[in-house]
Amino acid sequence: MSHIQFEKRILKNGLTVIHHLDTNTPFVVVNTLYKIGSKHEHPTKTGFAHLFEHLMFEGTDDVPYFDGPLQESGGENNAFTNNDYTNYYDIVPDINAEIPFWLEADRMVNLNINSSSLKLQKKVVIEEFKENYINPPYGDIQHLLRNMVYQKHPYQWPTIGKNILDIQNATLKDVKAFYQHNYVPDNCILVIAGNIQQKITFEWAEKWFGHIPKSSFVEREIDSEPTQTAAREYTHYADVPQSMIIIGFQMPRRLEIGYFEADLLTDILSSGQSSRFHQKLVKERKLFSEIDAYITGSIDTGMFVIEGRLHESIDIKVAEEAIWHEIFKLQNEGISEMEIEKVKNQMMTYMKFSDASLLNKAINLAYFEMLGNVNLINEEANEYEKITADSTQSFCKKYLNPQQSSTLYYLSSTCK
């Protein structure tokens, strides 16, 4: 893999700054990651981290409209929140590279939070909730599944929140406290990537962020999820045209042994036309119109999910047995060298094409730094290389077993 060069420094106030030079582009990315996600939320105040992400665009006294100066610079920006963190990115032509430094530093301390902006963004987020999780068919799968796989860990709810009520109930006081506690330099990683010299990056980081006071941030302990010992199942009826079966398993943490095996196993099972599920369950046995296996990629105990949509005439029990048949077969008969090589080669190409994007590189640098080792950006390819057919088979035996499964029967109400 081509090596990604970077330089890391920590300012006196605890802000981590990482620089990556790429002279192949006329753009600079400023990526600001706050180590705050929906897993840090209180179980009765869910959806908060994401709601707050919306509020971060509500302006300050100096910059009443955050997007304005970026658009005038010829740039773009956006943000996303997940269970583990919140990430903001600004992409600007290199001639205007200092603009995002100014804007990001400004909104880290001077954000205007008032009841009218809160009221408005609650409305927007409620529309987002409806658009993605209530109105579309099967939109509530993540809500139902997480609630089964996690009994204790806050991964129990999706980033959008448990329900609309939690969002409605958010108070100005909560929002202000949340901002003061989490949006601080020592809980933040700043990555500057693109056509900008290292010296300038650190000079500007100091100039714009250096005066922000350190906060003595203390990370909150999160309950770890106890290992599951008995199968869980739940039947849900909905007004959808076809039934689905979703099987979730707890899986290793992001930095725990087994994570890479899990990732490659999902490819063996369901990536592309030559995958096992596609060949056997879609094409030969004609049970599913679509079936997918994926991992959530979470920092703490993650989810390994198999989810398939059945053809109308198929009995869900038959479909379920067929999935288990494929899992048991892999556990008993193993994986061929050719098959493991295939998914590893696919992974290498995927990683290289991903590295061709400046924004991906910037986000990945911030992400790996958050995991505690920014060097992983260059080391992970080797980690995937080391995975063997045997270790993937062992992973499958250990984690994909019925006692540790959560099965969601998502049935079309026409089956009732």
For the segment 28-67, give every residue that binds another protein (CB under 8 A).
62, 65, 67
Q: Which is nearer to another protein, 37 or 100 (CB)?
A: 100
Q: Report the run of H or E that residue 409 belongs to, with start and end.
A: strand 405-412
Which residue's entry shows tokens 């063996």? Answer: 268
Residue 409 CB, shortest distance to another protein, in Å, is 17
- Which of these segments, 140-148, 216-224, 238-246, 254-262, binds another protein (CB under 8 A)? 238-246
> Which residues face 8 on adjacent strands?
18
Q: Which is nearer to another protein, 76 or 174 (CB)?
A: 76
**Is 177 one of the binding residues for another protein (CB under 8 A)?**
no
DSSP-H helix ranges across 33-156: 48-55, 67-72, 98-109, 115-129, 141-149
Q: Which is nearer to another protein, 157 or 208 (CB)?
A: 208
- Which of these segments, 42-50, 218-226, 237-245, 325-333, binds another protein (CB under 8 A)? 237-245
Site map for another protein, 67-96, x if CB under 8 A? Answer: xxx-xxxxxx--------------xxx-xx
Residues 334-393 close enough to bind another protein by CB under 8 A: 338, 341-343, 345-349, 352-353, 355-356
The C-alpha atoms of residue 71 and residue 75 are separated, in whole angstroms, by 5
Residue 227 CB, shortest distance to another protein, in Å, is 34
Residues 207-226 close enough to bind another protein by CB under 8 A: 207-208, 211
DSSP structure string for 173-234: HHHHHHHHHHSSGGGEEEEEEES--HHHHHHHHHHHHTTSPP----PPP-PPPPPP-S-EEE
Q: Which distant-in-sequence residues (6+ apart) come within 8 Å of 272 by Cβ?
A: 278, 346
Member of 9, 14, 25, 237 binding another protein (CB under 8 A): 25
Write the DSSP symbol of residue 132. I
Which of 15, 121, 107 minimizes the C-alpha distance to 67? 107
Q: Which is nearer to another protein, 227 or 273 (CB)?
A: 273
Residues 112-171 close enough to bind another protein by CB under 8 A: 119-125, 127-128, 130-131, 134-138
β-strands 188-194, 16-21: how paired?
parallel
- Which of these segments, 31-39, 149-157, 270-278, 388-396, binds another protein (CB under 8 A)? 270-278
Alpha carbon distance, N-terminus to C-terminus of the chain: 53
Residue 41 CB, shortest distance to another protein, in Å, is 20
Residue 27 CB, shortest distance to another protein, in Å, is 6
